[in-house]
Structure 1
Amino acid sequence: MPDDDVIQQLAEALSIDPVLAALLLQREIKSFEEAKHFFRPDIRHLHDPFLMQDMEKAIERIETALEKEEKILIYGDYDVDGTTAVALVYSFFSKRTTNISYYIPDRYKEGYGISTQGIDYAAENSYSLIIALDCGIKSVDKIDYANSLGIDFIICDHHLPGGDLPKAIGVLDPKRADCEYPYKELSGCGIGFKLVQAYAEKNGIPFESIACYMDLVAVSIACDIVHITGENRTLAYFGLQKLNSEPCTGIKTLMEIAGKKERVNISDVVFSIGPRINAAGRIADAKHAVALLISDDVLNAGDIGALINGHNAERKGHDQTITDEALSMIKSDAALVAKKSTVVFNERWHKGVIGIVASRLTEKYYRPTIVLTRSNGHVAGSARSVYGFDLYEALSNCSDLLTQYGGHMYAAGLTMPPENVLAFIDRFEEVVGATITDEQLIPEIKIDAEIKLSQINSKFYRVLSQFGPFGPANMTPVFLSKGVRICGQPLLVGSEHLKMFVQQDGSAMFECIAFGQHSWIRDLKQDRPFDICYCIEENVWRDKRTLQLNIKGIRQAAQQ
């Protein structure tokens, strides 16, 4: 059936604007039943955890450990996904045994993933089972070492496996080639939730006993930038409900510190809650984040939350200082400005924030970017890419100069000997220059649909909001409206943002906010039509709710 016919049938069946039906079709939703499934997430949409390869083995090993009162160590990465995963699995099993603790590797001393130091800690303290979360899928040699010491591993990971799987008791990873689990995009914390769900199902524990952890899963999904589709969307939907009704004590503390009083969404989690959790591992010790997330004591949580918030303030300081220094470094070097890549190095920069700085530089100059600093005798770097350019492949072409590297198309980490820095900068620019297209160096705004402002009303927004939670693979739709006119004068908000009202062909007036687009203030005139692309959102001010257009781009209208 042609797409236009599908759109028309969906629009009629659901009594919605055809534009919204077209957005459903973009998401491969073609029938009333599929739309109902999409618009009405249900716990019953979660998959059977035992469809995951090795789940039965993992649960049997945990049951044996609990029965024999073995010591269990919950091990996880130091980022948001890892710490929420550890908090979830530890909280659940600590209600069933006292022989349990957790371990988060030191970002600077041990690095990412399973460490020899962590295994030695387990051996010295008589732990016979380690449950690893958000890491371990490539730790073949480390698991062999643990096996030699009589320590069993269960790995719960969501990263792509290498050529060989670790010889663990159970390797839970939907991205295993032999795993038939129907959904492949779970977060690390999501895999931990499936482990807990499987144990609960097998042991007759009601689902309500694990639903209380879904706020942690939602935080991991938001902050690890995984797809918000399928099972992840269901988990995020109910996790946000928990966040907005009865969050765990630790997250509630962070929300209060961040000043979040209205309902939080995925974006709020990413920009307000996530950075504070991450700051613990970036500046001090990620164990503080786990201690906060497992705390049931309001006063204790308040103390840890204040400590973490202090780390976040320190992180912001480093972030701002390094960003300013890096921008100044680029601006003062004409040769660097002219390049198709950015690589900047200062051995004094704080390793914990160079990834954030790389993202900021990419936003400013829109090209593949690497920020380097000195760490433990090596030079460590964090890299970010632009849409459509494979950063990992580019680093592969520089691999002879690197001690190690890892990541994916858009973000990566790397280390190299200090004496290779200058050669690496030249090689990386050579590789990028030979493979990147001119189009990839121009930022684009992907527009989902062109609409008239007159199509926007409360029903349109109500249906649109049910497309959420929004995130990767289910982004907030961006609309284009052509030939709009400004009403009155645009106002400058702060030093960089515009606030204004627009109208189109006699439509209602819509309030707009245009972040970072202050340069348009002199060009927007009542007698000059212009085009806008934007997201539609609800603005709440003193209990009054109005629809607002969040402007993503402005251009002068084409001459008729």
Structure 2
Amino acid sequence: MKWTLKPKPDLNTVNTLANELNVDIKLAEILVQRGIKTFNEAKHFFRPSLEDLHDPFLMKDMHEAVSRVEKAIENGEKVLIYGDYDVDGTTSVSLMYSYLKNIHPYLATYIPDRYKEGYGVSFAGIDFAHDNEFSLIIALDCGIKAIEKVAYAEEKGIDFIICDHHKPGEKIPDAVAVLNPKRIDCEYPYKELCGCGVGFKLIQAIAQNKKQTINDLLPFLDLVVTAIGADIVPMTGENRVLAYYGLKVINTTPRIGIQALTQHINKKELSITDVVFIIAPRINAAGRIKHASYAVDLLISEDLDLAKNIAKEIEEFNAHRKELDKEITKEALLQIETNNEEHNYTTTVYDENWHKGVIGIVASRLTETYYRPTVVFTKSCEFLAASARSVKGFDVYNALDACSEYIEQFGGHKYAAGLSIKPENYNAFKAKFEEVVKNTIQKELLEPEIEIDAELHLSNISPKFYRIINQMAPFGPLNRRPIFQSNSVRDNGYGKQVGQDKTHLKLTVFQGNPKNCIGAIGFSLGNKIAHVQQEFDIVYQLDENTWNGNTFIQLQLKDLK
């Protein structure tokens, strides 16, 4: 792993901020690196305010969207709330349903079947709406490229409101309203909302017209923070505000579905990390293994016993998902080795028997292993469906666009995308994808990198230092938990490999004075035990460890040399 120390910011700015905030110079350095240079900027950062949320009517087509929803309510129309089958989609649908049900009785939810309908708005979904006399579809976390589908719906007398955050194509669907801050003709100040975030702006606008305040919408933010965490959007601007207050809701008055999902977690307070690694995978497992409607039913439930039963089923889906993930990853790695493709610029693998619901996770696992853009295919009806993942700094969406002659359909983000191709185009696509990436990727992007915020002497670590680091939460892209480097440290001689298969490394390290020791844990670093017999350098994040009722600050090692 390549270690890259971030450039030191302007010393005068750092010193001024450190004095104004009365904090350690290293903490001021990290804040300035993140664009926080003044007392007021620090106040906004450490104390996010709901007043910092933008007026939803700044988003293009918001007036049209609200007007159409109000018309549907006034006329007693049937409204179908439609969303994608991942966490962002299911939380979006649950959010919109939970809000609108209080003001409109004629609602239903619809999540496309991952295996029969695929991603996004489907003809089958529109037929369902038509057959059941729905005259308005609100599409969430999908729809920005559904030009033909929206036209098909219009022929059947069905209007569309689209709430999406994916990158638009050259043409926008001819819907009643298309809410997407990434539209080039949209001047909304914050561009990085997730799909559920865009849905929240719509209910915020409806609420404003009803003279409700932002405080009336607080109970819905447990869904929004779950989507923000799962969709890996930047933890800046509005996302940071929504996530901050969403975590407060999760930790004080979560909805019944989230209570049922987290009842087994023995923690006083859940963090964004818990949302990403505990709540989100379980919500996702429903759509991966069975059907995402289980997740929606859980999240809109008002009956705790029913919610607990659904949560139990979802727990079983998640356990099955883990087994499939492990098995398919093993098969994919073997395929790469058998084909002698370890040194390619890309990884593209296929097996018709792989479970479509977990190929995205497998693509992430392969990217972690070989650190290069990866596409994992499986059979899906008459097509091959795939999930693509990328490495930091490389836009896989653009790379797929360059291979579009072999692709039937694709969509997604810079680092994650989905696509489908005809089976006969697999080899041609694989060769083209390799060629495109080889000719466009910078070679240094193929080497995993760890960005280090600051060098730190272990003596700087104190309860106050750690407390202020924690106040920088919620963490996420563009506001990661700080990573530090300490040089020439030593182990106290009791360092050892731990874990069932000895893959982890447990140390007690000091820098200078052997009396000033601090515990350290390095997950998956057990094979580096030989490097700790003399002085070594470490990169780490600060964490806590509770043992026998006592809580200590510890280092969570990322790498050592």
The two structures have a TM-score, normalised by structure 2, of: 0.95
Alignment-derived partner of residue 467 in structure 2: 462
Q: Secondary structure at the match of 1:481?
A: strand
User: 1:205 aligned to 212, 222, 245, which one?
Assistant: 212
Asked if 1:544 corresponds to 2:550, the answer is: yes
- 1:112-261 paired onto structure 2 within 5 Å: 112-257=119-264, 259-261=265-267
- Counterpart-to-counterpart distance in 2, 1:121 and 1:479: 54
Answering whether residue 483 of structure 2 is matched by residue 478 of structure 1, we say yes
1:509 and 2:520 matched: no
Aligned pair 1:8/2:12, yes or no?
no
Given residue 180 of structure 2, which amino acid in structure 1 is its aligned partner? D
Three-state SS of the structure 1 residue aligned to 2:241 is: helix
Amino acid at match of 1:356: I
| Structural mapping, 1:322-471, within 5 Å | 322-333=328-339, 335-471=340-476
Report the equivalent of 2:94: 87
Instruction: Report deviation, 1:174.
Output: 1.2
**Structure 2 contact 165–181 (Cα < 8 Å) conserved:** yes
Q: Give the match's secondary structure for 1:226.
A: coil
Quote the Cα distance in structure 2 between the aligned partners of 1:13 and 1:108: 57
Distance 1:386 1:266 in 2: 23
Q: For 1:371, what is the secondary structure of its paired residue? A: strand
Q: One-letter code of the match for 1:290?
A: V
Q: d(CA) in 2 for partners of 1:148 and 1:426?
A: 41
Q: Which residue of 1 aligns with 2:279?
A: 273
Q: Which residue of 2 aligns with 1:558?
A: none
Alignment match, 2:527: 519
Which amino acid in 1 is paired with 2:363?
Answer: A
CA distance in 2, matches of 1:490, 1:311: 38
Mapped to 2, the partners of 1:422 and 1:166 lie a distance apart of 33
Aligned-partner residue type, residue 87 of structure 2: V
Match of 2:31 among 21, 24, 30: 24
Number of residue-to-residue matches in the alignment: 550
Q: Which amino acid aligns with 2:387?
A: S
TM-score of the aligned structures, taking structure 1 as reference length: 0.95
State the distance in 2 between where 1:129 and 1:230 align: 32
Any idea what SS the aligned residue of 2:418 has?
A: strand
The alignment partner of 1:110 has SS state of: coil
1:340 alignment partner, SS class? coil
For the residues of structure 1 that align with 2:194 and 2:74, how far apart are their CA atoms? 29
SS at match of 2:144: coil
Larger deviation: 443-452 or 167-176?
A: 167-176
Query: What amino acid does structure 2 have at the position aligned with 1:516?
Result: S
Select between 353-362 and 426-435 the one with higher mean Cα deviation.
426-435
Alignment-mate amino acid for residue 277 of structure 2: F
| 1:493, distance to aligned residue in structure 2 (A) | 1.8
Structure 2 residue 507 is the aligned partner of structure 1 residue 531? no
Identity of aligned residues (%): 53
The 4+ residue runs of structure 1 with deviation greater than 4 A are none
1:554 matched to 2:556: no
User: Is residue 301 of structure 1 aligned with residue 307 of structure 2?
Assistant: yes
8 Å contact from structure 2 (residues 167, 413) kept in 1: no
Spell out, residue by residue over 1:238-264, the C-alpha distance to the aligned partner (whole angstroms, 9 max, x if none).
10111111211101111124x343311
- Cα gap change, 1:308/1:27 in structure 2, threshold over 3 Å: closer, same or farther? same
CA distance 1:431–1:171, shift in 2 (3 Å): closer
Output the CA distance in 1 between the equivalents of 2:560 and 2:53.
41
| Structure 2 CA distance for aligned equivalents of residues 53 and 501 of structure 1 | 56
Per the TM alignment, residue 266 of structure 1 is displaced from its structure 2 partner at its CA by: 1.3
Q: CA deviation at 1:448?
A: 0.8
CA distance in 2, matches of 1:342, 1:123: 42
Alignment match, 1:43: 50
3-state SS, counterpart of residue 494 of structure 2: strand
Flag the structure with more relative contact order, 1 or 2, with Cα contacts below 8 A and sequence separation at least 6. Answer: 2
1: CA distance, partners of 2:68 / 2:14: 50
Maintained 8 Å contact 2:50/2:214: no
Distance 1:435 1:166 in 2: 31
Q: Aligned pair in 2 of structure 1 residues 403, 165: CA closer, same or farther (>3 Å)? A: closer
Give the counterpart of 1:493 among 498, 501, 511: 498
Alignment match, 1:63: 70
Counterpart for residue 316 of structure 1: 322
Deviation at 1:78, TM superposition (A): 0.7
Deviation of 1:542 after TM superposition, in Å, equals 4.2
Aligned letter for 2:32? L
Letter of the 1:518 counterpart:
G
Task: Evaluate the alpha carbon distance shift between residue 435 and residue 163 of structure 1 in structure 2; reply closer, same or farther with a 3 A threshold.
Answer: closer
Q: Using the alignment, how far apart are the partners of 1:438 and 1:57 within structure 2?
A: 47
Shift of 1:211: 0.7
Instruction: Give the secondary-structure state (helix, strand or coil) at the position aligned to 1:329.
Output: helix
Distance in 2, matches of 1:164 and 1:332, equals 43
Higher alpha-carbon deviation: 393-402 or 69-78: 393-402
CA–CA separation in structure 1 for the residues paired with 2:393 and 2:401? 17
The offset of 1:96, in angstroms, is 1.3
Q: CA contact under 8 A between 2:495 and 2:507: conserved in structure 1?
A: yes
After superposition, give the CA deviation of every residue in 1:498-551 in whole Å (9 maximum; x if it has no partner).
Answer: 1111000127211111010111113311xx111000011122334422111110
Secondary structure of residue in 2 paired with 1:370: strand
Give the 3-state SS of the residue equivalent to 1:106 in structure 2. coil
Cα distance between partner residues in 2 of 1:392 and 1:70:
38
Unaligned runs of 5+ in 1: 556-560
**Which residue, out of 272, 293, 296, partners 1:290?**
296
